[in-house]
Amino acid sequence: MINDLTVKVCGITRMADAELALELGADYVGMICYAKSPRSVTLEQARDLCNRIPAGKRVFVDVATGTDELENFADLGFDAFQLHFDLDLGLATVAAWSGIVGAQSLWLAPRLPEGEEFPQAVLEFADTVVLDSPSKGLYGGTGKTGNWERFAELSTLYQHKRWVLAGGLGPDNVAEAVRKSGATMIDVNSGVESQPGIKDHAKLRDLFAALKE
């Protein structure tokens, strides 16, 4: 299964965790620069990690980033920019993000409550969409399992974009999630942790082993 799957391990705060994730087969590692997250890293920590993680693997993760701030982080060497936001943010901001980093590097993660229609207009500005589990006041890393059926519907409807399945993925359910959702790319975080920001190396190994079965 893993040969056909792109894997991102998010919430990286330690180089040892990034190294193991990449060794096991991760295609990307994500660093959360959202100060309210228990997995957040500072600008200096992000710079240090970017300098040590191979090019092409480094993903910046934040919430409703200001354009000036995004420009600062864009200079650190990140390869992709995963930005979470509420639906009322407005297309002008999304368009500004796309203008700064480019649609090919922008991963949009709209917070999509159950029953809410997907904001199709945002697809104009990014080639990649992350569908995470909605949770009041939180943006990702909640451990809440996503709606795999909805993911399958949206990724089929908008096949011209790359879709990333996130939310509550771990060794015990990742294979089932991929089968039911049809995902070709997944984003794992809390499901492979011992505590926020600290990856459990046994769980990481178990996750990749489950994907290889």
Which residue, 77, 81, 123, 72, is CA-closest to 101?
81
Which carries the bigger pLDDT value, residue 82 or residue 116?
82
> What is the pTM assigned to this prediction?
0.94
pLDDT tens digit string along 125-180? Answer: 999 999 987 655 545 545 567 789 999 999 999 999 999 999 999 999 999 999 99
The full set of domains in the chain, from first to last, is 2-212 (3.20.20.70)
113 confidence band (pLDDT: 50, 70, 90): confident
Q: What is the mean pLDDT of the chain?
A: 93
Q: Which residue has the tokens 């959202």?
A: 34
pLDDT digits (tens, 9 = 90+) for 45-80: 999 999 999 999 999 999 999 999 999 899 999 999
DSSP state of 149: H
Q: Which tens digits make up the pLDDT trace of 201-211?
A: 999 999 999 99
Residue-level pLDDT at 2? 66
The answer for residues whose C-beta is within 8 angstroms of residue 116's C-beta and 6 or more apart is 87
Which residues are within 8 A (CB) of 207 and not within 5 positions of it... i.e. 6 or more apart?
A: 169, 170, 171, 174, 188, 191, 192
Rounded Cα gap, residues 20 and 82, in angstroms: 22
Q: Are 142 and 133 in contact (CB under 8 A)?
A: yes
What CA–CA distance (Å, rounded) separates 210 from 18? 19
